[in-house]
Every structure is written in C-alpha cells, then in structure tokens.
A and B are shown apart, each in its own frame.
Chain A
Amino acid sequence: MAAVTDQMAAPGAPAIRRTPKGTFDIVFRNASRAAALFVLVLLAGIIASMIIGGWPAFREFGLGFITSSVWDTQNEQYGAWPAIVGTLSTALIALVLGVPLSLGIAVYLTQLAPPWFKRPVSTTIELLAAVPSIIYGMWGLFVFVPLFAAYVQIPVSNIVEGIPLVGTVLYSRSPSGLGILTAGIILAFMIIPFIASITRDMLEQIPSVLRESAYGIGATTWEVVRHVLVPQAGVSIIGAIMLGLGRALGETMAVTFVVGNANRLSASIMDPGSTIASRIANEFNEAMGLQLNALIALGCILFFVTFVVLVIARILVARVKSF
C-alpha cells in the first residue's frame, strides 16, 4: 500500500509510465502544471502591462507624477496626487466605519445569535458581497446621496462653519451629497461581508475550552470577547481588515457614482474628489496619447499599493489559520 501511494505522490515513476494510458498521464500532468503556472503568468503579465503602458507618463513627469496635483488634459500635464489622496481617504473612512460594524457582526454571529438564527443572518451578510458594485453605485447616487445631503451635509455644515480644523474638514461648500465621505460610507458597507465572514470563521476556530474556562471563572460575554477571543484571533483579524482595505482601494463603479469626480484636491471630506479607480473609469474611453498612458500609470500605482496590502493580509490570515 505504501509503495502504491508513493507512486501516486511521485507521478511519472517508471512503473506507471509503462501502462497503455502513459501518454495521457504525462499530457494531463503537464497540462495541469501549465494551467497552474498560468496563474503566475497572469500576475507577471498584469505587472508588465501596467509598467509598459504607464511608462511614457512616468518618463515624462518622473517622481512629479506622484506629487503633482495638476490634471490638465489641454496642456498634457498629469499628476496623481489628488487621486492618490482620494483613494487613501475613502478607503480609510471605509475602514473606520466598516471595521467596528464587521467586528460587531462577527461577535453577534459567534456569541449572541441563537443557533437557528445564525445561518440566515450569515447568508444575508454574505449576500451583501454578491450585490454588484454598480448596484451599490445606483443605491448610493439615487437613494443615499439625497438623504445624506439633506440630513447630514447641510446640518453639519451649518454647525461646524467657522470652527477651526473641524470647520475645514467637515464643511461642504456645495452640499450635493456627493463626496469623499459619501464614497467612504458606501465602501464601508461593501467591505463588511469580507471582514465579518473571515472574523467569524476565525472566532469559531478558537477552541471552545478557552471560552468555557473564561465563563467558568465568572467573566461576562464582553470580557470573554475582549480578553480571550480578540487576543487569540488578533493577528488574523488584522489580516481580514487588510483584505477589506484591499477591496476598498480598488472599488470602482460604486465610487465613480458617488465620489463627485472632481480633479481638485479639497481639504474637506464633504467635498467631491476622485480616486484612482474612479478617474480611470471616468476618463478612459475619451483618453488618447499621453492621457491614456497617465491613466495606466495611475493603474500601476493602484496595483502596487493593493498588492502590498493584499500580501500582508494573506500572510496574517494564513499564519493563524493553521492553529
């Protein structure tokens, strides 16, 4: 038996090659290896196409492409700074709002929900991830934006007007409902299912003897979560949050609908802005020449940022998965 499994583990051992099916065996093994290698080719191709496509813009503007705030199609001057800031700030807002929500949901699902209620709630939360990005955009633009303008932007602007710092960050010059904050809020709902379901899985993997002994010495549910579960799953929860961040950075359609697509940088998160992805989606079909290269160069920046975030996320999630 051991010899047979050894041959299974090492395909291509001579005894197997002698069978009439030998040719098919070799073809099948090489085809599946080629398919697996294709995954690597895809990644290499994406990196190469971004760098080659964006090269003219990088060469033309150098480091100034990242630091410049000018985006002038008439004079062929392109700078990525407003889009980079927009991308980072929308993603940050999404995390600030989405992470507490996701953790609350994960705690509810693993600790509080009655058993019969767990599965329907889990499914509902996960279906939030199945709703296409463009539908979030439609909901954002036609339902959320008018409400947000009337009940948040206008009252908040009236309150904070004239106050230093807060008055700059939260004041909206034209309360249309569109803006960086709106995009961040929509993104928060879009990343909830990813963070919540990974955190739920992580909390469920924690051996229940830990929970039970904490309850046994008289801890409340909150204390069990705070002092036993969170420290146990801590690293992987950070990994889950990074995965959500990766999603938020690259989200395109929903953001394009609600971010306002302004090319200028504003100090207020209530004002319209743009993200890397929304700018690409907006301008790509009319772009020619250097503008096209500049947009692909933007994509290149987005790729490297999300790549680093996702690598960290996968390492953190994988490390704890094995306990």
Chain B
Amino acid sequence: MNSAVTPPATTPHQVWGRVRPARRTADRAMKIIATSFTLLAIFVLFWILGMLLVKGIGGLSVATFTQVTPGPGSEGGGLANAIVGSIVLTFLGIAVATPVGVLAGTYLAEYGKGSKLADLIRFINDILLSAPSILIGLFVYVILVEPFRGYSGWAGGVALGIIAIPVIVRTTEDMLRLVPSSLREAGAALGAPPSVVITSVTWRAAKSGMVTGILLALARIAGETAPLIFTALNNNFWFSPTLVGGVSNLPVTIYQFASAPYENWQQLAWAGSLIITVSILCLSLIARRIVRGGK
C-alpha cells in the first residue's frame, strides 16, 4: 500500500533537505490520514459485501426462487413473489418515469436554452434529485392510497417513478448537451423540423448516454424501501394481477423479516439482501461501462 502514497516522480518532493521538519511532518501526516480514510471507506464497502455473502449465500436455494414467502411460524418458503413483485414495481416505475424524464430532459437541453423557466425547472429537478424518498412515499400515499382506500402496486410504481424522474431528466439533459450542434444544423439544413432533428438525430447520437440514465434510475429505485411502505406495502402471497391491494416486494420483505423471531425469515432476509445488492451493484457497473464506452 505504501507505493500508493508515494507521489509521482514529477512532483518536486524528493528534495527534503531544505524543508523545515515541521512542514515535512504536516505533509506526511496529511498523506497518511488521507490514504487511511480512503482505505477505511473501501474497507466498509467490502465489509458490507462480505457480510451479505457470508450470511446470504446459505439462504439461496432453488426454493428461494420458486416458493412464496412463508407465513409466521411456518417452515421453509422462498422469495418468489417478492422477487417478481419487485421486478414488476421497478419496471412500472421506469415505465412511468422514462417518457416524462426523457421529454423533460429534451425540453431543457433543446428548447430551453437561455429561458428562465428552464433554469427554474433545472434547479427544482436538482432539488428533487436529492429529496428524501420517504417524502415521495408520503406524497403518493396522500394522492393515491388515501383517496382509493387501499394500498396498491400502482401507487408503489408511481412512487418509484417519481423518484426516478429527476435522475432521467438530469442524465438526458447532460447527454443531449454533449451532442455537437453541427449535427443538429446538418439535420435542419436538410429541411427537417426540430422535432424530427431531435428524434432522429440528437436522440440517436445520445442514445447510449440516455440508456445509462435509465439504468442508473433503475439502480436507484430497485432498493428503495421507505416509499413502498406507504404505497405497495407488502403481501405474503402472490399478489393480485390487477396490482390492487398489497404487492409483495423484496425491500419491504427484508425490512419485515430481518428482525423477526423466526429463523427461516431471517435467513430469507439475508438471501434477499444479497440478491438485491448484487443486482444493483451490477446495474451500476454496467451503466458506468456504457458511459466509458461511449466516450
């Protein structure tokens, strides 16, 4: 690890002779502290991943993917309904967020140059990007759960969608801004109206970046728990295909099973945590790779 601390040969550190010892000590101390802080953060990530592997891998079996979540006190069981429910809710969220997010990002990048309204929307979008997800859950509870007198998968999907929208708006705008304007001008010179230029030139040029935004949004909402507690809740059986009533999902199942007194519940909570974390980390890594490949 010490080799990582040594600065590159180009920096003028080698000649320590004329530097007062106090300055040298301060410099050394800072380097050691900065390096050890970095190592600590890396260590924590691997500690969490290691914990998930050790405790979660024992709970993984065929039954985990084929059987439904067990009731209180019953033996065995799996996570099949929770996994399918999570996939349905997450994709519902993405289906809600993608059209809105892509169009809004397009407006900000293509139509909103220099407009005050676009500046305001961009600012508010950045705030929504870091707004606590629990508040989004409360909001959807007030507008979709309370009026219809019941939890539903639709409300859960909408809550996740609202969390995903700012992510997609932001990345879409950033990626469209990277497209050189000569491409747009070439399209316009052929007589194409702005909408055609955007849909068949600009979007196409920025495609991989926009897909990355959607993948990042997927990774962001797949593990969200707080907003689902107020909207889709959970369900220990297969949910209704109409998505009315509680829809089982992994995060809330983990939340309910983790501190339960039944051993098979705890085991399933760890297995679920492993599944969800590995999927999300893979999604993030894939999204990163696409961005890097695009550049």
Contact = CB atoms under 8 A, between A and B. Distances in A.
Interface of A: 1, 4-5, 7-9, 11, 16, 19, 21-22, 24-25, 27-29, 31-40, 42-43, 45-46, 49-50, 52-53, 100-101, 104-105, 107-109, 111-115, 117, 121, 123-128, 130-139, 141-143, 189, 192, 196, 215-216, 218, 220-223, 225, 243, 246-247, 249-253, 257, 277, 280-281, 284-285, 296, 299, 302-303, 306-307, 310-311, 313-314
A309 B276 CA distance: 31
B204 interface: no
The 4 closest A-B pairs by CB, nearest first: A250-B132, A132-B223, A104-B37, A35-B103
Contacts of B138: 49-50, 53, 280, 296, 299
Contact of B42 (A11, A124, A220, A247): A124
A285 B138 CA distance: 12
A253 B75 CA distance: 28
A130 B284 contact: yes
Contacts of A281: 134, 226, 229
Contact of A112 (B35, B99, B189, B197): B35
Contacts of B123: 314
Given A1-B185, A107-B34, A36 B121 contact: yes
Nearest to A11: B194
A28 B139 contact: no
A139 B47 contact: yes
Provide the main secondary structure of the chain B interface: helix
B258 interface: yes
B288 interface: yes
B237 interface: no
Given A33-B107, A220-B13, A4 B24 contact: no
Interface stretch (B2-10, B76-84, B205-213): B2-10
Contact of B229 (A125, A137, A216, A285): A285
B224 interface: yes
Interface string B130-151: 1111111011001100000000
